[in-house]
Structure 1
Amino acid sequence: MESKSTLPDWASKPCIMGIDEAGRGPVLGPMVYGCLYCARSYEKTLSTLNFADSKTLKEEKRENLFENLKANELLGMGC
């Protein structure tokens, strides 16, 4: 994932953030943490994007959602 050195203008306003992890931990393998953040004003729109626990989604749906996240300039992410 490409890292950006400057934050978008909307990130200087109140934001919300979600954090999740994937992996098996230090005993069985690596853990990866990621976060997604957006302006609080985007919260209602975010709730309409059909996200769910990744374990309940087929791989193709997860990939499509991820591509949509990367293309959306109203969202920020990191890992």
Structure 2
Amino acid sequence: MSESRPKERMLPMDVVDMGEVRVKIQQALTEVSKVVVGYQDVLQKILIAVLCDAHVLLEGMPGLAKTVTAKTFAQVLGCSFKRIQ
């Protein structure tokens, strides 16, 4: 006898205007870019990870704005920020 797996519950989705989503994403990137300059590709990848509910590990030499980037994203997106070392 095989065990049945519980069915995943699907949450109802509202109709989403993708144009509006695109505008909100661009606004977020624009706001972060006002503080973190020169890392547009990295900022886009971080935002993609956040939208996908994924994790991000920022690595690099001291002074390359890793903490500032994370803190700024948290402020722009209305999230909390805590630094772990």
Q: Tell me which of the two structures has the higher relative contact order, counting C-alpha pairs closer than 8 angstroms and 6 or more residues apart.
A: 1
TM-score of the aligned structures, taking structure 2 as reference length = 0.25
TM-score of the aligned structures, taking structure 1 as reference length = 0.26
Give the number of the structure whose residues are more often helix, by fraction. Answer: 2
Give the number of the structure whose residues are more often strand, by fraction. Answer: 1
